[in-house]
Amino acid sequence: MTETSRLTLDLDALASNHAVLKAAAANASHGGAEIAPAVKADAYGLGADLVAGRLWDEGARGFYVARLSEGLVLRQALGDRAATIYLLDGVTPGSAPAIEAAGLTPVLNSLPQIEAWNSHARGRTLDAALHIDTGMNRLGLRPEEAVVLTGAMDRLKFLNITLVISHLACASEPDHPLNARQLARFTEAAALFPNARRSLANSGGIFLGADYRFDQCRPGISLYGGGPRDVADDRIKAVATLEAPILQARVVPRGESIGYGAAFTARDTTRVAILAVGYADGVPRAAHPRGAVWFDGARRQMLGRVSMDLIAVDITDCDAARPGAMMQIIGPDLPVDDAAAAAGTTAYELLTRIAPRARRVIKGG
Ligand SMILES: *Cc1c(COP(=O)(O)O)cnc(C)c1O
């Protein structure tokens, strides 16, 4: 039975990427930063329960989710494994009791969030992380707000700030001047909280140099097979392999077109494989006209527009292409960064959009 697309999750490749990032984060000065994986958005679409379970076995003890609902599911999945689960959305209105009940550590992003968690904690002490914005201008306290905060410590009276974080806007571009500016702002602001650990680097940040690694790094994409610079990287293994079977092989005569909009016209007689995969499985519609798949030792061009359920692939001169044979959309032979670039998007978006229709297969312990 191979009539559907198949997403294979290689947990050994995940462990290998984790080891690569851990080694890269090993600061000579203090024996190595903690790796706290970002498992938000269901571990970039791959399955947060499986990913966090395996990374726990590899030694990870802290995990980042975005939404409260993700934190609740992950806490359940981890069972009695006492992981620290950081909640990037922080304390949204009304969520404090649920955050505490699930034992999540909110990342406090603003003075109102600090107020909400501090007043919820009243009379006790609750852990929290603090997010300082150093140039992304999405979430986080402005550095000057952090200064105000330290001058009004009763705002933190019932809080134990265990960690101060910030997030890099351009970590995949080592030469971008914003990196050094964010590092300087973070170093200064984090010094206001001398008892807290510090965390700045995502996947790209780990490779910007030892200065960026601090006590904890928060990689996501490079655990899951994307290069830290948004291009394929030999050190990082493919974790997700998306494949789809050939439904039909046909010959398109010269001068005829393929698919919606007649967007591709055969200049010569062309052998074409029709695959059981489309944008409803997560193949970007924008993969036309540059996208390719991997089969029988070579990249094969996609021809014509991506349909909801089907794509067409050039198999001229490829005798092995028979109905039922599986072609690789992304995987070890076709890096997710390459497939993303061909569709004008990123590995992040490509992975998170692989739809449930693809049958999940787990490889590795
Ligand atoms: C998503 C996210 C990460 C992980 O980033 P990658 O680029 O996938 O390594 C780290 N920190 C924060 C705050 C994030 O939102």
Q: Which residues are catalytic?
A: 40, 260
Shortest-distance atom of ligand 1 to CA 221? 8
Q: Return all residues near 237 (Cβ < 8 A) that are at least 6 apart.
A: 10, 13, 16, 17, 225, 332
Residue 199 sits in the same domain as residue 323: no
Nearest residue (by CA) to ligand 1, atom 2, is: 38
Q: Ligand 1 centre and the CA of 200: distance in Å?
A: 10
At residue 2, the pLDDT reads 64
Residue 137 sits in the same domain as residue 209: yes
User: Which residue among 189, 223, 257 closes a domain?
Assistant: 223
Residue 138 sits in the same domain as residue 270: no
CATH number at residue 305: 2.40.37.10
Q: Ligand 1 centre and the CA of 63: distance in Å?
A: 11
At residue 269, the pLDDT reads 97
User: Which residue among 166, 189, 223 closes a domain?
Assistant: 223
Q: Which of 139, 87, 95, 137 lies closest to 116, judged by CA? A: 95
At residue 17, the pLDDT reads 98
At residue 32, the pLDDT reads 86
Residue 275 sits in the same domain as residue 139: no
CATH number at residue 178: 3.20.20.10
Determine, yes or no, domain membership for 228: no
In 10 A of CB 113, how many CB atoms?
24
Question: Ligand 1: residues within 6 Å at CB?
Answer: 38, 40, 88, 167, 202-204, 218-221
Shortest-distance atom of ligand 1 to CA 172? 7
At residue 365, the pLDDT reads 75
334 contacts 299 by C-beta, under 8 angstroms: yes
Q: Ligand 1 centre and the CA of 219: distance in Å?
A: 6
Domain, as residue range, for 163: 11-223
For the entire predicted model, the pTM comes to 0.96
In tens digits, the chain (365 residues) has pLDDT values of 567 899 999 999 999 999 999 999 986 566 689 999 999 999 999 999 999 999 999 999 999 999 999 999 999 999 999 999 999 999 999 999 999 999 999 999 999 999 999 999 999 999 999 999 999 999 999 999 999 998 888 999 999 999 999 999 999 999 999 999 999 999 999 999 999 999 999 999 999 999 999 999 999 999 999 999 999 999 999 999 999 999 999 999 999 999 999 999 999 999 999 999 999 999 999 999 999 999 999 999 999 999 999 999 999 989 899 999 999 999 999 999 999 999 999 999 999 999 999 999 999 97
Token pair recorded at residue 212: 């960026």
User: Which residue among 188, 223, 258 closes a domain?
Assistant: 223
Mutate to test the pocket of ligand 1, among 64, 231, 236 (most ligand atoms within 8 A of CB): 64
